[in-house]
Structure 1
């Protein structure tokens, strides 16, 4: 890293659990690796993490952040009013930017009022943060909710190092150009010293948009526009491999482990783990399971998909509709193929602890990571990290960021139900020697690019900028 200073992290929401957990407490936590990967840098520098406090009952307009301290790290909580949460988070972030950046223009809502609230809330974050900063601080802004935050900080006089990381995809230029404010948001990126994305493809997409919308020129890895420059690079997010290996080797009983003990030994287990979101391809995955049972009748009564779909953004109509469609399709497939003592799809609509998931990953014959589009998808990496002596097979969508490096997974096109069904059948019938060879190659990739490696590489690059 370059000159030393505090690391200051800004995200949409402040972490709800920040004190360093014991091994037992960590196993019980829901999945989420951002806190664990950034904590060492925040602790070492006495840093700050700023984000919304998660409550829609704050005052509108400017308000100072509420500061608490945990193990030497300052947590700065921003309060938002109900109208600010609605316009900034529910509407513009999750009904405009989320679908557009994932390549779903038909689901993209264009609303000028919500864009105005989005910009106002970004100013509110900057106004609350600016008085907390020191000249040598390194500020790292996270994700699509806060694209303009860098510009607002610069307007308020911040001249220090400033980085931005987009955790979700960046789409091709012709899709991003649908946004009426594409030029404004792209111009905001020039206020960052470093912009990070998950994959090289997303970097190319961003560079293409900068050229199309602003007439910017790419020279080497730097984009030039008028008298300004932007450096964009890929920094693939990794999993907390050490934590998942530790849990895989432990024998801590959980409700899931008891379910697995009762799971018939003559059946094969498929696992899907997602937030309930239309980008995750859950409905497409279930249709592929239906095709599997049609095309390979010997699989009827022999294979079960445990589909975990953690509830998400329940206030947004598209997400309620997604749950209805998932439940309806699972019910139809189970009604068509199910027997008194067996159902092909076992849907679970709730979050599960890291230890629960590790047990499922270990026992699964195959893990289906089949999003229609995803920035990275850490489930793929956590599944590989959790395998032990008899590894399962990773079935991976070519449309998620993890596919860029995890080449020994079985790749599928989630829109092709026939092809996906054939690939799942191949996974379930794969010889152990091939499963072992593929897992060893994938584990080498996953263990060489961990969550901590990701955060260190970005912070080091920003510190040297």
Structure 2
């Protein structure tokens, strides 16, 4: 029976001692912990993470085992370099769009890699094929691929809890390919928003050269699915906190303290991404432009301590406290202090009391993966009162459109929003909060976890189906060799476009063709299908050459023959399509248009521009509309498009070769291609076609293989005697 494993940087429990000095575990606060507890408690799931427990804690092993916790032991110096230098010193600022604050420390990165390897080793001692592993957050981005390499049949999900930056920012990282490859080891990569998911897909497409179709990334012979899964809050925990005595006591204290005054609330961890300085400046501007508010409006700023031993955070605290003093000194009176500043943590019962008393909740981070404070505020407002102001750069703003959405860098805009929120018509305020609260309650943390696991199971099932066709499986390889070795005549049709470009790819093709000739000898003929003209195609005169995607055909050592179509047959469409492709060529540097005998081809060259890909898709659509009533069509090719006639494609070229071969009517086919190969090639004479797709799961081929090198290796294996 498969097992579930939750993996995070830190375990969600700390070790404390009771009055008698005996150790016990205390659950840590936080959105991730609350969200994953239902998963942890159901189905006997285990939680894996670094505990940092004192080594001499008596009975620690029994305490951990009782909670199904697995402590990953890491040397303190390695962990410090991993956490301080790599995770928080480099990745955190880059992913939050603060590249000037990033430190690209190679020793820190080596520690990051080492910690991910230690996590992998700890898991591989315990997990088995088919298990579900759910990895959390940016500290463990290499772990999915480390596990995939060791156990390909795992179901691996990864959830990214912080923003994922645009590819232009991500590529600043010296280790960008290693990070992207690590994440691509997962079956499902989840984010809080569609924007973050699109950014990751852009990294896969632009930096890694992978094909992206909608939410799916084709990585070798696997599908990596991306998706937006905005985290919900712990509704049950909040309801319990609201019912507590501590909540009622705190609320009564707040009512007394702020009687007759309107309360604006801000709750944040001390961090430069949270926009605390900018929020204070906006509140100061509000007081300056609305003098009448100085006596009856208070900002209560709860700043939760974080990393205060680190220089920049200590400096930030000092700057915030100086700003608070300046505002209070400038706008305060002996009877009123406009900013109440608390540098401390508060429990959930006290937080919910603050939410209930606040007239406005001001959530204005400069960049935030999601932000749960805004959702908790809405959930607590059973009275359907209160107003939320949220930064457009907080992930939750995509869900909470009825709030006042602001640019946190625009202090005037934030100040105006504070005034608008405080003076909003009560009916409008309640209408907005009613929608916000309902949406938050319907999408809680349990729903989030369930949706993620369901999506993970779905894509893992797709990959298991692909895996059953992989030639890396001895049974599948044996079946292929048996079908081919027993054939009297074989036609091997290779889509040469899968090998166009780098010299290494051509070397793969040479090795593959040598393996074909070595295994089948005179029993086989080879047809190379190319996008180039046949007499310009490559690899010698011993082959049948189908040029321009099958529009022309040339037998070994023979003359070129056309298959009945020429560009002139396009008629008036020819000039119009050339004009469109010419415009595209001018807009996309390093692209070019190639006119053959029977095809028009446009390739984007080495450009990595996302806009070029958008223009490619738009151009393909426009040309397809022009050709929709003709025998011609516009097809996607690797990094480009091709206009060709539907009556003379690769499948027809194969039929003509079969007709010319002795015994061709009964010959076995071995068709080899990639994701851009015409599916008609794989579906031709299905009962005697051994179809193999290279490095793609998106095909109807019988077999899948990671690369041509692997297929050549299979063909040179001993097999069924011929």
Question: What TM-score results when the alignment is normalised by the length of structure 1?
Answer: 0.91
CA contact (8 A) 1:31 1:352 kept: no
How far is the alpha carbon of 1:39 from its aligned partner? 2.4
- The higher radius of gyration belongs to 2
- The superposition leaves residues 284-304 of structure 1 with CA deviations (integer Å, 9 ceiling, x where unpaired) of 000000000011000112111
Q: Equivalent of 2:379, from 356, 377, 385? A: 385
Aligned ranges for residues 92-131 of structure 1 at < 5 Å?
92-131=86-125
Tell me the equivalent position of 1:308. 302
CA contact (8 A) 1:280 1:371 kept: yes
How far is the alpha carbon of 1:206 from its aligned partner? 0.8
CA contact (8 A) 1:9 1:48 kept: yes
Tell me the equivalent position of 2:9. 12
Is 1:447 aligned to 2:441, yes or no? yes
Task: Return closer, same or farther for 1:317/1:355 CA change in 2, 3 Å cut-off.
Answer: same
Tell me the equivalent position of 1:170. 164
- The superposition leaves residues 161-218 of structure 1 with CA deviations (integer Å, 9 ceiling, x where unpaired) of 1110000000111001100111111011221111101100001111111222111221
Q: Equivalent of 1:46, from 40, 44, 47? A: 44
Tell me the equivalent position of 2:341. 347
How far is the alpha carbon of 1:153 from its aligned partner? 2.0
User: Take 1:339 and 1:395, find their aligned partners in 2: how far apart are those partners?
Assistant: 27
Greater shift in the superposed pair: 7-16 or 260-269: 260-269
Task: Return closer, same or farther for 1:158/1:228 CA change in 2, 3 Å cut-off.
Answer: closer
Tell me the equivalent position of 2:326. 332
CA contact (8 A) 2:13 2:27 kept: no
Q: Equivalent of 1:89, from 83, 92, 95? A: 83
Task: Return closer, same or farther for 1:71/1:265 CA change in 2, 3 Å cut-off.
Answer: farther
Q: Equivalent of 1:456, from 444, 450, 464? A: 450
Is 1:207 aligned to 2:205, yes or no? no
CA contact (8 A) 2:124 2:147 kept: yes
Tell me the equivalent position of 1:418. 412
Task: Return closer, same or farther for 1:414/1:163 CA change in 2, 3 Å cut-off.
Answer: same
How far is the alpha carbon of 1:15 from its aligned partner? 0.8
- The superposition leaves residues 86-114 of structure 1 with CA deviations (integer Å, 9 ceiling, x where unpaired) of 21111100010011001111111111110
Aligned-partner SS, 1:191:
coil
- The superposition leaves residues 18-73 of structure 1 with CA deviations (integer Å, 9 ceiling, x where unpaired) of 9xxxxxxxxx9875233333223222221110111135989xxxxxxx85567964
Q: Which runs of 5+ in 2 are unaligned?
A: 16-25, 461-722
User: Take 1:33 and 1:68, find their aligned partners in 2: how far apart are those partners?
Assistant: 27
Task: Return closer, same or farther for 1:432/1:250 CA change in 2, 3 Å cut-off.
Answer: farther
CA contact (8 A) 1:300 1:337 kept: yes
If asked which structure has higher relative contact order (CA below 8 Å, sep 6+), I would say 1
Tell me the equivalent position of 1:435. 429
User: Take 2:304 and 2:82, find their aligned partners in 1: how far apart are those partners?
Assistant: 23
CA contact (8 A) 1:55 1:79 kept: no
Tell me the equivalent position of 1:362. 356
- The superposition leaves residues 211-242 of structure 1 with CA deviations (integer Å, 9 ceiling, x where unpaired) of 22111221132112444432111111011123
CA contact (8 A) 2:205 2:211 kept: yes
Tell me the equivalent position of 1:222. 216
Task: Return closer, same or farther for 1:287/1:255 CA change in 2, 3 Å cut-off.
Answer: farther
How far is the alpha carbon of 1:435 from its aligned partner? 1.2
CA contact (8 A) 1:137 1:161 kept: yes
Aligned-partner SS, 2:330:
helix
Paired positions, count? 447
Greater shift in the superposed pair: 140-149 or 126-135: 126-135
Tell me the equivalent position of 1:24. none
Aligned-partner SS, 1:45:
coil
CA contact (8 A) 1:57 1:81 kept: no
CA contact (8 A) 1:51 1:78 kept: yes
User: Take 1:368 and 1:68, find their aligned partners in 2: how far apart are those partners?
Assistant: 44
Aligned-partner SS, 2:263:
strand
Q: Which runs of 5+ in 1 are unaligned?
A: 19-27, 59-65
User: Take 1:452 and 1:195, find their aligned partners in 2: how far apart are those partners?
Assistant: 18
CA contact (8 A) 2:402 2:432 kept: yes
User: Take 1:29 and 1:195, find their aligned partners in 2: how far apart are those partners?
Assistant: 27
How far is the alpha carbon of 1:131 from its aligned partner? 1.1
Greater shift in the superposed pair: 166-175 or 132-141: 132-141
CA contact (8 A) 1:248 1:388 kept: no
How far is the alpha carbon of 1:136 from its aligned partner? 3.3
CA contact (8 A) 1:189 1:230 kept: no
- The superposition leaves residues 300-355 of structure 1 with CA deviations (integer Å, 9 ceiling, x where unpaired) of 12111111111112333221111111111111111111111211111111111000
Aligned-partner SS, 2:13:
coil
CA contact (8 A) 1:390 1:432 kept: no
Is 1:323 aligned to 2:322, yes or no? no
Tell me the equivalent position of 2:642. none
User: Take 1:179 and 1:9, find their aligned partners in 2: how far apart are those partners?
Assistant: 27
